[in-house]
Structure 1
Amino acid sequence: MATHLVSRSVVIDAPAQTIFDILAAPHRHSEFDGSGSVKGLVEGPERLTRGARFGMDMVLGLPYRISNRVVEFEEGRRIAWRHAGPHRWRWELAPFGDGATRVTETFDYTRAPRGVYQLLGIPARNARGIERTLPRLKRLAETG
């Protein structure tokens, strides 16, 4: 069985906890989203933890709202959320020396129906979004 993951990484000149604090603040997600689909927090906590639920205003052609739940959580190291779909958005942070951190964003669709996501072009579209998101996150974390 093939693994269906789309991942990209960047090294950020900031401690992992600084970056994680941005990722764990759902009201900041639209600041670093490079896909252009995340418009703002509708409801949710100030800071995400395992099991936390949060809703976002989104747009992909048409505006809509989506509810997410944090399904993976390791303080300062890893966070992932999902909504009603079978895929997950995962962020992993690893020390990279001299206070820098390697950040990997992954669109994990291993639980999705085989072929459907590829047919719809979702992996390629999400790869482009990740490639625009990581530099935005880097700027936020490095400039405060």
Structure 2
Amino acid sequence: MVEQRVSVSRVIKASPEAIFDVLADPARHADFDGSGTVQKVRGDATRLSLGAKFAMDMKLGPLRYKISSMVVEFQENEQIAWAHFGKHRWRYELEATEVDGAPATNVTETFDWSTARIPKAIELAGHPKRHPANMEATLLRLDALFEA
């Protein structure tokens, strides 16, 4: 079976707790989104937890739309993933490390379409090939949030 995930990792000079706090706050998602599609949170921006639902205003070229997601994986300060109606997942995994003796975190972002309703449609649309560049940009923007 073909792997139905693509991942990108980056070491960020911040603690897993600090990074997780940003990831678990949907009001901050537009701050680090590297695709340019996430615009802002809709409604209440409470901290995410397992089963939490949240909605975002999105933009893809001239198309504006809303997407509702639910947190489907959650381990405080270690892992968070959400999925929308298509059931594919955006996952962030955090692993504590050090850089020059200072706290740091290896952050891995994964686009996982193994759980998708129609995985072949995702492949035909080219998402697995396009998303790694956006994910690299996302992790770069996330890193920039913690620069001194």
Q: Normalising by structure 2, what TM-score? A: 0.91
- Give the distance between the partners of 2:89 and 2:66, measured in 1 at CA: 17
- Give the distance between the partners of 1:82 and 1:100, measured in 2 at CA: 27
Q: Structure 2 stretches of 5 or more lacking a match?
A: none
Count matched residues: 143
Contact residue 45 and residue 52 of structure 1 kept, 8 A = no
State the AA in 2 paired with 1:23.
Answer: L
Tell me which residue corresponds to 1:106. Answer: 110
Q: CA RMSD in A?
A: 1.2
SS at structure 2 position matched to 1:126: helix
Contact residue 72 and residue 81 of structure 2 kept, 8 A = yes
Whether 2:60 is the aligned partner of 1:69: answer: no
State the AA in 1 paired with 2:21.
Answer: D
After superposition, give the CA deviation of every residue in 1:38-67 in whole Å (9 maximum; x if it has no partner). 000002442101111100000123000010
Contact residue 57 and residue 63 of structure 1 kept, 8 A = yes
SS at structure 2 position matched to 1:137: helix
SS at structure 2 position matched to 1:115: helix
- Give the distance between the partners of 1:133 and 1:105, measured in 2 at CA: 9
- Give the distance between the partners of 1:141 and 1:20, measured in 2 at CA: 12
Within-5 A mapping of 1:33-72: 33-61=33-61, 62-72=63-73
1:114 deviation in Å? Answer: 4.3
- Give the distance between the partners of 2:93 and 2:111, measured in 1 at CA: 12
1:141 deviation in Å? Answer: 2.5
Tell me which residue corresponds to 1:119. Answer: 124
After superposition, give the CA deviation of every residue in 1:95-124 in whole Å (9 maximum; x if it has no partner). 112311100000000123343222111112
Contact residue 16 and residue 77 of structure 1 kept, 8 A = yes
- Give the distance between the partners of 2:89 and 2:21, measured in 1 at CA: 19
SS at structure 2 position matched to 1:48: coil
State the AA in 1 paired with 2:89.
Answer: R
Q: Structure 1 stretches of 5 or more lacking a match?
A: none
- Give the distance between the partners of 2:43 and 2:93, measured in 1 at CA: 24
SS at structure 1 position matched to 2:93: strand
Tell me which residue corresponds to 2:134. Answer: 129
Structure 1 stretches of 4+ with a deviation exceeding 4 A read: none
